[in-house]
Structures are given as structure tokens and as C-alpha cells.
A = this chain, B = another copy of it.
């Protein structure tokens, strides 16, 4: 008995597409020795120097422990540096090193190539439609499943 045929599930198609994109980016970033997650972190980091790990996690839509893992690897490879905040003792400011900027730039060229090639497959109208439809998916799914079931104080 089949409850719902797979081809009818939007999820199947969404997953396949995301998987294919992720694989393509992974291959594109390989020469720069970057993973997709590392690239995403570096990219946001370059746009918000000194951002905290928690804020970076939010920007990348992952949990703090996940970002912690990614940052640990980036730091071990010398791509970022983390320095204590001047007076906010609980915050570690994260910044790209020179090497980090270089590697990001290298990876970015390849990653953007993939994005451009993909975008070129669609007309501007189609891109708009796709983005809008995906946005509605995300909005619905997030509203149906709140990040934090806010509990009242009393």
C-alpha cells in the first residue's frame, strides 16, 4: 500500500534539486579545499567582520554547535581568527585571516560560476517564479513549525 506516490511529493523534487546543487558546489569548491558549509560561513563572515559565532549561526541557518564545528575546522586551517571582545567578555569576535580572504575569493569564483550557470538555465521571469514559490514553501514550513514554542512567563 502506498500512502502517497513519491512523484507527487514536493519534498522529493526539492530534495533532489538541493542535493544536486550541493554536489555541484562541493565539486566546485574542492580545488579551494573548502566545504559548502565552510564557504557559507566565510561568505557571511566577510560581509560582517567581527560577528559572533551565534549570530553567524543564525545567518547560516544552523545551530550554534554546528557552527562551532565548522569554525573549529576553519580555525585549524588558519582561515579565521577568534579574538575576545574588548569589553563583552562572553563574545568571541570572528574574522577572516588574510589566508581566509584569499581562499574565500578563490572558492567564490567557482561557486558563483555554478550559480550563474544555473541561473542562465531560466528566464528572468522563471527565476522570479521559482524564488517566489520556494519562499512560500519556506514560509509555510517555518510557520507550521515554530523555532521556539514561546512559553508565557505565568
Could you list which residues of chain A lie within 8 angstroms of chain B, going by C-beta atoms? Answer: 2-4, 6, 8-11, 13-25, 27, 43, 47, 61, 108-109, 112, 114-119, 121-122, 126-127, 129-131, 133-138, 140-142, 144-145
Contacts and interface: CB of A to CB of B under 8 A. Distances in A.
Kindly report how many copies of this chain are found in the complex they form together: 2
Contacts of A136: 121-122
Interface centre among A19, A119, A126, A130 (most CB of B within 10 A): A130
B145 A24 contact: yes
A10 B2 CA distance: 33
A127 B10 contact: yes
A145 B27 contact: yes
Contact of A14 (B4, B21, B23, B27): B21
Contacts of A134: 13-14, 16-17, 130
Contacts of A2: 47
Given A10-B119, A121-B137, A130-B133, 13 more contacts: A3-B108, A8-B115, A8-B119, A10-B127, A13-B130, A13-B138, A14-B134, A15-B22, A16-B61, A17-B141, A27-B145, A130-B137, A133-B133
